[in-house]
Structure 1
Amino acid sequence: MTSSIPQDPLLRAKLNLETAHFPWKELERYFAAGMVIVVSDELDLIEVATAIASDDKAAVLQWMNKQQLSKVPDDLAQAWSDSNALLWTVVVKPWILVQMRAS
């Protein structure tokens, strides 16, 4: 998509295998600790995870500047809690990346 460096296919495959659906309720304690990052549904969750794991600062900064990547805002966390949202997740320590996908 928009990554500035080629992505490691083995890392990408590893992260892809580590994705899972999680209910927001199970992620709330990590949200409270400031560890949950929301990825816009315009982006590929695995590409973003790979860029973060690879320390691709240019891509991450670009997504942040476009507001496609950020800590979960309180109002969104509340909406997910109210709706019992189920989110795609992947861990890139210390972060938990989440994405709400319409499917």
Structure 2
Amino acid sequence: MTDQASTLYAKLLGETAPITWQELQPFFARGALLWVEGSQDLVAMAEAVAENDQARVSQWLQGGLLGRLDDTRAEDLLARDPQLWAVVVAPWVLVQERTTAPALH
């Protein structure tokens, strides 16, 4: 990891915060939410999106690890109201329901 990349990772990590589905609904309505599977490193994915790393992002999209949040998942989140984590990489908001404790870097 380069110094620039690690600086960006640290910046994004500091901007990552817990959030409710209710707070995210306006972003969903605009089509600006990207869902990150819970086993993945939310901040690393945000970093790749911010750096426009097309190879990694494409791989995650194809593998189903990253993608636009669909109506079915939105309805599930509305019904369950779980704790979510999000980070903004304009114009996107990357969101995740954590399934494991975050890794420390």
TM-score past 0.5 threshold: yes
Taking the aligned partners of 2:91 and 2:37, their CA distance within structure 1 comes to 19
Q: Which runs of 5+ in 1 are unaligned?
A: none
**Aligned match of 1:62 in 52, 59, 70?**
59
Segments ≥4 residues shifted beyond 4 Å:
none
Q: 1:16 aligns with which of 6, 13, 16?
A: 13
Q: 2:41 aligns with which of 32, 40, 44?
A: 44
TM-score (norm: length of structure 2): 0.89
Contact 2:39–2:99 (Cα < 8 Å) also in 1? no
CA–CA separation in structure 2 for the residues paired with 1:23 and 1:88: 8
Q: Percent sequence identity over matched residues?
A: 39
What secondary structure sits across from 2:35 in the alignment? strand
Asked if 1:29 corresponds to 2:62, the answer is no
Q: TM-score, normalised by structure 1?
A: 0.91
* Structure (1/2) with the larger helix percentage: 2
| Count of equivalent residues | 99
Quote the RMSD (CA, aligned, Å): 1.4
